[in-house]
Amino acid sequence: MDAPSSSNSEDQQQQLQEPRYLDFPHLPDGTMRDGKLALNKYSSILTNGHDFPGAQAMLYAAGVPNKVAMKTSPQVGVASVWWEGNPCNMHLLDLGKTVKDAIQKQGMLAWQYNTIGVSDGITMGGDGMRFSLQTREIIADSIETVTCAQHHDACVAIPGCDKNMPGCIMAFARHNRPSIMVYGGTIQPGYSETLRKPINISSCYEAQGAYAYKTLNSPHDSKITPDEIMDDFEQHACPGAGACGGMYTANTMSTSIEAMGLTLPNSSCTPATSPAKMRECVKAAAAIKVCMEKNIRPKDLLTRAAFDNALVMMMILGGSTNAVLHLLAMAGSAGVPLALDDIQRVSNKIPFIADLAPSGKYFVADLYEIGGIPSVMKLLCAAKLLNGSIMTVTGKTLAENIEPFPSLPQGQEIIRSLDNPIKATGHIEILRGNLAPGGAVAKITGKEGLKFVGKARVFNKEHELNDALTRGLIPRNENLVLVVRYEGPKGGPGMPEQLKASAALMGAKLTNVALITDGRYSGASHGFIVGHICPEAAVGGPVAVVRDGDVITIDAQSNTISMDVGDEEIAARLREWKAPTPHVTRGVLAKYAKLVGDASHGAMTDLF
């Protein structure tokens, strides 16, 4: 595939110029010790000689066994995004312990630590979701902080939930020391006894929509009540540890990052609770040593070709709109030019072929059973859609990594052939128009059609729409474009996901409705949805002055989103518009709102 070119606008170039981070002194690249490349070139600042005796005393107390280890052993940070209250993350401490033990068996010192996480599934639809996106920045800040402050020579990061993966990669780009990501893995599908079919976290939210509109029932037993079905879903949708099981944001990011060469082969598909995931943790220790010996650093891997691979994988698999936000931020951290126009160019060329949830039938655990992402990559490399020549954390090229894996088996139904796609082009569309002059991101699989025209019904916060849906107040008798605004990065603040609303629309089968927002969506969202409208309402974007009854046209063929209001009328409305008083003025969300950039540049806090 031809490499898409980046936009040349002065604004984008200013946003995408390579960021500068604090450079710590270390032994020069290529420094040899006993005929080998010195692997402790950062930690030796503290451990050689007697310039930092207090540091050495504390390291001995922390577990360095002897003087030889102090002076010669490289120190590797093992960063897990572990916490107990979320199935995506609750097992990561144990994975980290396995990685640490394996690193020590490689003759290196390993220091395990963790950073914070927020469960998108638990916070969805409430004010807690406002804290989700900013955790990406906290995770990146935490890993950068520990790696640099403690003079670690390398990093193995173990993320599990949506914002975890991009947070880890952004940190890698900042400290640029040999690094590997070990994905915590996907959850196994749940199963509903009342409906007799596989279910997952998204099923719960769609069932809620059907429940509100009184259409939730069992086709197998009319005596089963809607409340019993809801109880069944709540108790069985998530059977254990692992990230949400469809091609939602966590699995979108893990598969994209694997296509970039920053994980071991099949890390993105290996289920969280499988023995293979533990074996991967052991292999990661050997691989990080290879990265150190060959001086393979994150920014050697975070190239434009690698980001092109990530975009191809996202389109092929039907990934989350959040990947647009996260890949832009990862590229910004690495100083790699990447813009919305580049994403559209890839979408124009790459088909959508994966029958995976949320819009499809299967789950990522099912994909693992037929060969996983390496087998998908073999198909894409053979078709010259994926660049197999990029270097990876194994010290081999991507093509070399996937060579031992089988091709996709004949007769499987999860990944279609390239000549029989679900949609001939990508499902992610970048839209512009008088509603979104700075861009918007649509997720349109083709199943909902490619164009929608309807009257605006405006909600100034997500909870207003959720309340209307819970009360069954959205009618079926006319085409409506539901507009949710003041939920962008600054206005939310925190750009909350709106899975509760989008899933309720699907569950209630409100096919006469489209949903647009300056906020964002969960990877589990599907339907005729548009998010990331830029400029957002809180900074005076045109979406702030949409009125009930304005006719809105969303066209995925012309890549436009517009309202039937003339430029002069929009300008007049904006002159009368007054910015609302921020409802958060202190604490972490207030700091985030002050620092965060717009969605079209990844909602970053260190490029603004």
Q: 522 an active-site residue?
A: yes
pLDDT tens digits for range 82-101: 999 999 999 999 999 999 99
Q: Between 13 and 607, where is the model more confident?
A: 607
362's tokens: 């299967």
Cross-strand partners of 72: none
Q: How far apart are CA 165 and CA 258, in angstroms?
A: 11
Chain centroid to CA 83: 19
pLDDT tens digits for range 550-589: 999 999 999 999 999 999 999 999 999 999 999 899 999 9
Pairing mode, strands 154-158 and 179-181: parallel
Q: How far apart are CA 244 and CA 478, in angstroms?
A: 34
409's tokens: 């088996």
Q: How far apart are CA 29 and CA 7, in angstroms?
A: 34
Q: How confident is the model at residue 15 (pLDDT cuts 50, 70, 90)?
A: very low
Max distance between CA atoms of the chain, in angstroms, equals: 79
pLDDT at 248 exceeding the cut of 50: yes
Share of the chain above pLDDT 90, in %: 85
Q: How confident is the model at residue 523 (pLDDT cuts 50, 70, 90)?
A: confident
pLDDT at 452 exceeding the cut of 80: yes
Q: 428-601 falls under which CATH superfamily?
A: IlvD/EDD C-terminal domain-like (3.50.30.80)
Average pLDDT of the chain, as a whole number = 93
Q: How confident is the model at residue 504 (pLDDT cuts 50, 70, 90)?
A: confident
Residue 190, CB half-sphere, CA atoms under 13 Å: how many?
24
Q: How confident is the model at residue 17 (pLDDT cuts 50, 70, 90)?
A: low
pLDDT tens digits for range 299-333: 999 999 999 999 999 999 999 999 999 999 999 99
Active-site option among 43, 522, 525, 562: 522
pLDDT at 16 exceeding the cut of 70: no
CATH 3.50.30.80 domain position(s) in the chain = 428-601
Is 3.40.50.2300 the CATH classification of the domain at 74-187+243-402? yes
Share of the chain above pLDDT 70, in %: 94
129's tokens: 């979701």
Confidence (pLDDT) at 6: 44
pLDDT tens digits for range 455-467: 999 999 999 999 9
- Listing DSSP states for 198-212 in one string gives EE-HHHHHHHHHHHH
Amino acid at 145: T
Q: Is the backbone of residue 424 left (phi > 0), alpha (psi -120 to 50) or beta?
A: alpha
Token pair 């997952």 in the structure block, residue: 200
Confidence (pLDDT) at 28: 63
pLDDT tens digits for range 386-425: 999 999 999 999 999 999 999 999 999 999 999 999 999 9
Confidence (pLDDT) at 528: 87
CA angle 159, 59, 181 (to 5 degrees): 15
CATH 3.40.50.2300 domain position(s) in the chain = 74-187+243-402
pLDDT tens digits for range 185-201: 999 999 999 999 999 99
Q: How far apart are CA 593 and CA 517, in angstroms?
A: 18
